[in-house]
Amino acid sequence: MPRLIFTSHYLRDAPPEHLENYVRYIGTREGVEKIDESKLSLPATGNQKELNAQLIRDIPQTKELLEYADFLLRPTIGNASEFISCALEQNVDLIGNRKNYVDYIANRPRVERVGEHGLFTDAGVPVVLKRVQEDVVNHKGPVWTHVISLRREDAARLGYDSASQWMALLRSKRAMLCRHMKIDSANLRWYAAFHNEGHHPHVHLMVYSAKDNDGYLTKPSIEAMRSELAHDIFRQDFANLYEEQNQVRAALKSGAEDVIRQKVEDLKGETLVNDEIERMMVLLSERLKNTSGKKVYGYLKRDVKNLVDQIVDELAKDSRVSELYQAWGKWQDEIRSTYQNDLPPLPPLSEQKQFKSIKNMVIAEAWKLSSHQLTFEDEYAPEPEIQWIQEEVLPDGEMEPEQVDPDETDLPEGMQKDRPKQQNVFHSSWSDGYKRARGYLYGSEEVGQDFEQAFVLFLAEAETGNALAMYDLGRMCADGLGCESDSEAAEHWYRKALGGIT
């Protein structure tokens, strides 16, 4: 069961008739909270079981709640009451009107008050409950409601058992809400309240746009927000997991390289070609001799890429590589299980973005068979990056000016105003800053691999007009390293690296 639950709904104008029982339950909830504690460990009552079954039928997503898992393990009166209460509260938007919903999350029992009520929003913005209610009631567009829930032990250990910690987190996530809910920052309206429940403290988050019918929310966006919140809340836990996973990743890449290089050595020594990988490597070598341009996976034709993919997948059948890839996948599942219920199966090695460098390693070794040259850019041969960029530089060291991109305003926040100020010279240099950034990108004995730090350092280097940093930013945006995967931002940085600075 995930340790973080993130659910999303939107407010309806009126409750469906068949959910009237739930409205009645919420209206009398104070009585439920006063159950004799001596009876909490007794088996659940018939009425509780009946209401549980109705909840599962009418609101199937309640099966994903932490309280439901507790009830299945121990179907007691106490756990049944916790599940019913939490299921109704986290889906109160389905059964109540907008005005009552705002009042409920602001004033319900165990809400941690921030002033006269429990609602909070952006720093420095006063929250007047009646005004918020009127604004929400009169809003013609959708109003989304999210609930973020943790287990009590995790909330206490990580500091999320108080409104102040949730307030700081959610105030830092304005850009996330704008990006994934497609709402302009100037129009974004959000309010939240922390409910310090016994087993599972949680926060209600209400989001809408000041502009009617603006914004929308998709399932991938919900998953992305769930992931981003989990990575913030469980940051320290994830850091330890990523450290272990990166060690396996490095061993896998090294093991794959050893296997391929041994195959190439066998071929060079005129050893009989009796292996599927060896046959495909010979074929790839011939194809590369007839391929113009850079010998890098991203630049190859589709049929040649398919051949590389086949070699990588055949490579994954090697017992050493397979064992390491499965171990890497287990660490990946360990991370995802924190916030995902259904874990996707481990894809073929050729489809795993985190191991794209293995493809370039395969290409490099195949190219050695015929030319003994390395013309791809990766950690295996960084020098050609300089040569490639410098070919674009004019004799005087300057570049042709790039045309202003009319679509730049559509780029993600933080990517729009990144042209170097007072910088007209396009250059490509392995400066100290650029070397530091690459150190974090690939990892070394001195520093561990840190994509986020690498992204920050590449951004700073790009501000100086360094095209090498711009190109690496394009690659990182394309692959989602240190940032959300964004093809538009990747294309933006590639254009700047190739075309110069305006």
In sequence order, which residues have a C-beta less than 8 Å from that of residue 436 and are 6 or more positions away? 457
- Whether 25 maps to a domain, the answer reads yes
The rounded distance, in Å, linking the Cα atoms of 56 and 74 is 17
225 and 241, same domain (yes or no): no
The amino acid occupying position 228 is: E
245 and 222, same domain (yes or no): no
DSSP label at residue 372: -
The rounded distance, in Å, linking the Cα atoms of 345 and 356 is 19
Residue-wise pLDDT for 83-119, tens only, equals: 877 776 666 555 555 555 566 555 555 555 555 678 8
Residue-level pLDDT at 417: 39
459 and 486, same domain (yes or no): yes
Which structural domain, as residue segments, surrounds residue 305?
237-370
Residue-level pLDDT at 139: 83
- Relative to beta strand 4-10, strand 202-209 is unpaired
Last residue of a domain, one of 338, 370, 402: 370
Number of C-alpha atoms within 13 angstroms, CB side, residue 292? 0
Residue-wise pLDDT for 467-494, tens only, equals: 888 888 988 888 778 888 787 788 788 7
> Which of 107-116, 303-312, 423-432, 490-499 shows the highest mean pLDDT?
303-312
175 and 71, same domain (yes or no): yes
- Whether 139 maps to a domain, the answer reads yes
- Whether 377 maps to a domain, the answer reads no
Residue-wise pLDDT for 190-232, tens only, equals: 998 888 877 788 888 989 999 987 888 999 999 999 999 999 9
Expressed in angstroms, the distance from the first to the final Cα of the chain is 51
pLDDT grade for 416, boundaries at 50, 70 and 90: very low
User: Is the pLDDT confidence value at 238 over 50?
Assistant: yes
Residue-level pLDDT at 12: 57
The amino acid occupying position 254 is: S
288-293 — which CB contacts under 8 Å span 24+ positions?
A: 288/363, 288/366, 288/367, 288/370, 289/370, 289/371
Is the Cβ–Cβ distance between 479 and 452 less than 8 Å? no
H/E stretch holding 206: strand 202-209
Concatenating the DSSP letter of every residue in 126-192 gives ---HHHHHHHHHH--S--EEEEEEE-HHHHHHHT-SSHHHHHHHHHTTHHHHHHHHT--GGGEEEEE
- Whether 375 maps to a domain, the answer reads no
Q: What is the CA radius of gyration of the chain?
A: 28
Lowest mean pLDDT among 48-52, 321-325, 375-379, 466-470: 375-379
Q: What are phi and psi of 233, to 5 degrees?
A: -65, -40
Q: Report how many helices (DSSP H) and strands (DSSP E) the chain contains, helices first.
A: 21, 4
CA 334 distance to own-chain centroid: 15
Number of C-alpha atoms within 13 angstroms, CB side, residue 306? 3
Of 203, 108, 85, 119, which is closest to residue 155 (Cα–Cα)? 203
User: Is the pLDDT confidence value at 301 over 70?
Assistant: yes
291 and 200, same domain (yes or no): no
Last residue of a domain, one of 181, 208, 234: 234
Is the Cβ–Cβ distance between 53 and 68 less than 8 Å? no
243 and 225, same domain (yes or no): no
107 and 226, same domain (yes or no): yes
pLDDT grade for 309, boundaries at 50, 70 and 90: very high
- Whether 376 maps to a domain, the answer reads no
Give the rounded percent of residues in the chain with a pLDDT score beyond 90. 29
Residue-level pLDDT at 254: 94
Report the CATH number at residue 87: 3.30.930
- Whether 79 maps to a domain, the answer reads yes
36 and 90, same domain (yes or no): yes
Residue-level pLDDT at 44: 85
The rounded distance, in Å, linking the Cα atoms of 249 and 253 is 6
CA angle 334, 66, 9 (to 5 degrees): 100
Last residue of a domain, one of 234, 250, 275: 234
302 and 198, same domain (yes or no): no
Which has more confidence, 305 or 392?
A: 305
Number of structural domains (the chain) is 3
User: Is the pLDDT confidence value at 378 over 70?
Assistant: no
Structure tokens at 202: 């949680």
Which ranges of 405-486 would DSSP assign to H, the alpha helix?
A: 432-442, 451-463, 467-479
pLDDT grade for 22, boundaries at 50, 70 and 90: very low
Report the CATH number at residue 391: 1.25.40
Is the Cβ–Cβ distance between 271 and 260 less than 8 Å? no
Number of C-alpha atoms within 13 angstroms, CB side, residue 62? 27
> Which of 83-87, 312-316, 486-490, 497-501 shows the highest mean pLDDT?
312-316
46 and 185, same domain (yes or no): yes
Which ranges of 182-295 would DSSP assign to H, the alpha helix?
A: 219-233, 235-268, 276-289
Is the Cβ–Cβ distance between 348 and 316 less than 8 Å? yes
292 and 171, same domain (yes or no): no
Give the rounded percent of residues in the chain with a pLDDT score beyond 70. 75
Residue-wise pLDDT for 249-266, tens only, equals: 999 999 999 999 888 887
- Whether 312 maps to a domain, the answer reads yes
218 and 337, same domain (yes or no): no
- Whether 85 maps to a domain, the answer reads yes
